Structure 1
Amino acid sequence: MSQHLSKLCIQAEKKLAQLGQKRQDSHLSVQLNQQQHQALSQMISAYRGTKEGTNVLLWKNACGMVQVLEPMQVKLAQKSEFLQQEQLRIDRLWQKQLGRQQGLRWFEKQTHLQNEARVARREQSVLDDMAGFYYKKKNV
Structure 2
Amino acid sequence: MPLVHLASDHAGYALKDILARELSGRGFTVRDHGTNSGESCDYPVFAHRLCAAVLREGGQGILVCGSGIGMSMAANRHDGIRAALCTTELHARLSRRHNDANVLCLGARITGEELALAIMAAFLETGFEGGRHQRRIDQITPRA
Q: Which has the higher helix share?
A: 1
Pairwise TM-score range, normalised by the shorter structure: under 0.3
TM-score normalized with structure 1 length:
0.17
TM-score normalized with structure 2 length:
0.17
Q: Which has the higher strand share?
A: 2
Structure of greater relative contact order (alpha carbons < 8 Å, 6+ residues apart): 1
Query: Of the two, which has the highest radius of gyration?
Result: 1
